[in-house]
Amino acid sequence: MTTDSSLASEDAVTGAPPLADPTPPAPARNRLGAMTWISRYGVYVALVILLLLNMVITDHFMTASNLRLQLIQTAPTLIVAMGMAMVIGTKGIDLSVGAVMALSAAVVPLYIGYGSVAAILIGLVFGIACGLFAGFLVSVVGLQPIVATLSVMIGGRGLANVIAGSIKTISDPGIVALGTGSLLGIPYSVLIGLVVVLVVAFLVRRTTFGLNLESIGANQLATKLAGVRIAAVLLTVYAINGLLAALSGIIVAARTQASDPKTVGLLMEMDAIAAVVIGGTSLNGGKVRVLGTVAGALLMQLITATLVSHNAPDSLAQMVEAVVIIVAVFTQVGRRKS
Amino acid sequence: MSPTTASKPVAAPAAQKRGRASQLSRFVQRNGSWAVLILMVIVMAFAFDGFLTGSNLGQIARQASFYAPLALGLTFVIFTGGIDLSIGSLYALGGVIAAWASSAGFIPALLAPLVVCGLIGLVQGMIVAGTRIPAFIVTLAGMMFARGLVLFITDEGSITHHVTASSHFTSLANGSILGVGLELTAISAVVLGGTMLTGGSGTIIGSLAGITILQLVANLINRLGLSNSNWQSVVNGVLLVVVAVAQTYLSRMQARNKGDAATAEEAAKNAPEPEPAIPGT
């Protein structure tokens, strides 16, 4: 509760002009305000700067094919990050998304005999089931989200390995089309990502469900006392998150035309959490920033792309990403006051 | 403060009963892992021929000793209510650095990984201690960083640094072994050993029991003819759920017997920091 109240008072300080007691040092106050501003809007500034920088220093950056590639590579992370943003909005966390991706990607080749649509639907059902299980552990049993989803993370990837055994190539024309086809020049995966963003934005901003979701994150006890069925809302949030992770896993499998249970979705929980947090959504819950999350996912992709296009190895990009994440979270939560 | 004084409005016999239930649940929490371990050994000794042989038990112990340092270090972290997701990657990094440094001799091969991984651990600890960034975020980033470093040293995983000193070192040094999932095995072991993931209670010796239980499960999976070793992580996941749920109920039982049940539960559910979940200890 200490973090909540201090953040709230911080907002009050920056929002309203101080009526009394002007003695406290102004620089400290400005710095706190600046930190809050950076954590909310820094991602957009960074994105614009990085875009402008790339226009100057990277050859062939503003070509249609390169921008298309960047969007295709962002789409899976973006889809997972949308679900993650909702979970984090409830003050939860989901570490299992990568494993759920691997599980759904592993299931699809098994049921491909029933047709590509049926196989995809079954993959999505597995994702929803994983989400419901984690949601049940969190909302009904009362486990901490990190513990509940950690166990799904461990068991889920193991199950994916058991089911799939090894890498399976996918040659089903329907799935291949999902991975490579496009509509009006926009790849299907990017279109799906766009639809997911719009749906999540609608859910969060325009429905009672979205309101309840954010109020659980802000104050679960008060929300419960207000008569909201907390368990139902949390179950729905985790189920949607599982569904989106499964969708992302299927898209990754379709794009690579292979399902490798060992690599699909590996470290995706980190990328998704990073996109959400860099986008300005607080890990303390209470607020879902949809547009910020989109910008966060794009920024992470652009950082990697910038480094890689200038001959930096993937490994270096990964290390830079790790540092960016720590800095982004730090601008939100700040120092520990002793 | 004793449980009986905490629940003073209740009549004496009821309070006594509650006190006993609280003691029992704490006993189960602290010693349950050993009971499970002993039970498993007895059952497996009767069920499988050749289980109680020196070579089989020796092999289980040897494999357990391999994971034990990870679980023991992690126990301290979890005691504090934190978590470390980076240890699997640091394990891989340590192996790669050892192999890389082994060209300079035995002492550098031994010291270099300890220094580098120790420094990374120190930086993570400083961030956890000095900022309000949650430990799992810090160590997830640490995991990413360490994996990146492993790939960097092995030239994107294409170079295998060989050492001739011992075969054990060689298997560690392969860049493709990234220690994926080791942190999860270690967490499972610590939790199985009765350490609360909310911190504040647990035993080192329990973590040893936890690691041994996981090795017995691996042994069991082999003996049941489940050729696919990936069943191990499925079982680990299930075990983690079962133990975490059991711990939640056990600590709720303790909280209930110490004071007003409703407030304790609400405190446990709504607490941003884990400490209020265990009132009065």
Q: What is the pLDDT of residues B197-232, one digit of tens each?
A: 777 777 888 888 888 888 888 888 877 777 666 787
pLDDT at B12: 59
B10 pLDDT band (50/70/90 cuts)? very low
Terminal Cα distance for chain A, rounded: 16
B152 with A3: Cβ contact below 8 A? no
What is the nearest CA distance from A67 to chain B, expressed in angstroms? 26
| pLDDT tens-place string over residues A287-309 | 889 999 999 999 988 888 888 88
B234 pLDDT band (50/70/90 cuts)? confident
Is there a contact between B184 and B236 (Cβ–Cβ < 8 Å)?
yes
A317 with B141: Cβ contact below 8 A? no
| pLDDT tens-place string over residues B31-50 | 778 888 888 888 888 888 77
More reliable by pLDDT, A116 or B208: B208
Q: How many CA atoms lie within 13 A of A249 on its CB side?
A: 43
Any B CB within 8 A of A269 CB: yes
Does the pLDDT at position B1 exceed 50?
A: no
| Ramachandran area for residue A144 (φ above 0: left; ψ -120 to 50: alpha; else beta) | beta
**Cα–Cα distance list, A283 to A67, A254, A293, B6, B81 (Å):** 31, 32, 13, 35, 17
Identify the closest residue of chain B to A160 by CA–CA distance: B230
Concatenated DSSP letters for B119-165?
HHHHHHHHHHHHB---HHHHHHHHHHHHHHHHHHHTTTTT-----SS
Is there a contact between B211 and B73 (Cβ–Cβ < 8 Å)?
no
Which residue from B30, B136, B160 is spatially nearest to B84, judged by alpha carbons?
Answer: B136
- Within 18-77 of A, beta carbons closer than 8 Å to B belong to none
What share of chain A has pLDDT > 70, as a percent? 90
pLDDT at A114: 84
A326 with B137: Cβ contact below 8 A? yes
B129 with A336: Cβ contact below 8 A? yes
Contacts of B275 in chain A (CB under 8 A): none
A117 pLDDT band (50/70/90 cuts)? confident
B248 with A143: Cβ contact below 8 A? yes
pLDDT at A294: 94
Exposed, middle or buried, B255 (CB in 10 Å: 0-12/13-18/19+)?
Answer: buried
More reliable by pLDDT, B30 or B148: B148
Is there a contact between A297 and A77 (Cβ–Cβ < 8 Å)?
yes
- Within 299-338 of A, beta carbons closer than 8 Å to B belong to 313-319, 321-323, 325-326, 329-330, 333-336
B159 pLDDT band (50/70/90 cuts)? low
Quote the CA–CA distance of A257 and A148 in Å, as a whole number: 31
Q: Comparing A92-96, A204-208, B233-237, which segment has the lowest mean pLDDT?
A: B233-237
Contacts of A102 in chain B (CB under 8 A): none
The average confidence (pLDDT) of chain A is 82
pLDDT at B4: 43
Which residue from A242, A284, A193 is spatially nearest to B134, judged by alpha carbons?
Answer: A284
